[in-house]
Amino acid sequence: MKTNQSLYLNMIIRLATISIFILITVYTCTAQIKYEKEYRLNQDDVPKIAIEFVDKLGFKKKIKWYKEEGLNNTSIEAKTKHLSKKYSVEFNPKGEIEDIEVKIKFKEIPAKVQQNISKYLNNNYQKNKICKTQIQLSGGPNSLIDAVLRQNFKNNAEVVTRYELVVKAKGYDKYQKFEFLFDDNGEMLSKAEILLKNTDNLEY
């Protein structure tokens, strides 16, 4: 009798363990979490190739350098103001350009794209508030330099344009803050819940 009870108990424990493992695996595969920590860098610690790239963008105001650490990656960013816009130029640790982000107002996005983004948010959340909007530019180094110099962000075939939004949204029971990435048609590409973002001393 005791042997049967032990076997039954072991089976229950094994099933519970398997179930927990499956739940953790599914959550890990489907949930995206954004965790960042940023801190200042001296220019002497920045790869030369990144400094040379930024020098070609025609920025007139002071450049501040940061190192950004996420859950799975590390990057280097140059931040400044240019023509009344906040710029963030992101590089990989080797100093190779990844993308350029320009802070804009949501109403500056093309009307059709605005409609598609708003439709997605309204269909998926009870309430939502857009906290931050950035246009994200990626492509070859020369194409990105040309886009910034000419201020031609949306009509350059060699530059991929996306929109990054930070949104405070309410689902069924609570408010959460998310970072969304939409393509140039307003289709959602990715979503990550923001757990913590260190913004101390990140003034431009």
**What is the distance between the alpha carbons of residues 124 and 57, in angstroms, rounded to a whole number?**
39
Q: In one letter, which amino acid is 170?
A: K
- 18 and 46 co-located in one domain: no
- Taking a C-beta distance cutoff of 8 angstroms, is the pair 168, 194 a contact? no
Whether 164 maps to a domain, the answer reads: yes
- 6 and 105 co-located in one domain: no
pTM: 0.78
Whether 202 maps to a domain, the answer reads: no
Q: In one letter, which amino acid is 74?
A: T
pLDDT the model gives residue 196 = 54
Q: What is the CATH number of the domain that holds 102?
A: 3.10.450.360
Instruction: Give the count of domains, the chain.
Output: 2
pLDDT the model gives residue 4 = 56
pLDDT the model gives residue 7 = 57
pLDDT the model gives residue 78 = 98
- The tokens for 46 are 């920045």
- 7 and 101 co-located in one domain: no
Domain that holds residue 159: 34-197
- 69 and 165 co-located in one domain: yes
Q: Is 192 helix (H, G, I), strand (E, B) or coil?
A: strand
- 26 and 126 co-located in one domain: no
> 27, exposed or middle or buried, with CB in 10 Å at 0-12, 13-18, 19+?
exposed
- 191 and 145 co-located in one domain: yes
Whether 118 maps to a domain, the answer reads: yes
CB neighbourhood size of 144 (10 A): 23
Whether 204 maps to a domain, the answer reads: no
pLDDT the model gives residue 6 = 58
**What is the distance between the alpha carbons of residues 141 and 22, in angstroms, rounded to a whole number?**
43
- 72 and 149 co-located in one domain: yes
Q: In one letter, which amino acid is 117?
A: I
* Residue ranges of the chain with per-residue pLDDT less than 70: 1-31, 196-204
- 27 and 72 co-located in one domain: no
How does pLDDT run across 157-188, given as a tens digit for each residue? 889 999 999 999 987 778 899 999 999 999 99
- 38 and 70 co-located in one domain: yes
Q: Is 158 helix (H, G, I), strand (E, B) or coil?
A: coil
pLDDT the model gives residue 13 = 55
How does pLDDT run across 126-151, given as a tens digit for each residue? 999 999 999 999 999 999 999 999 99
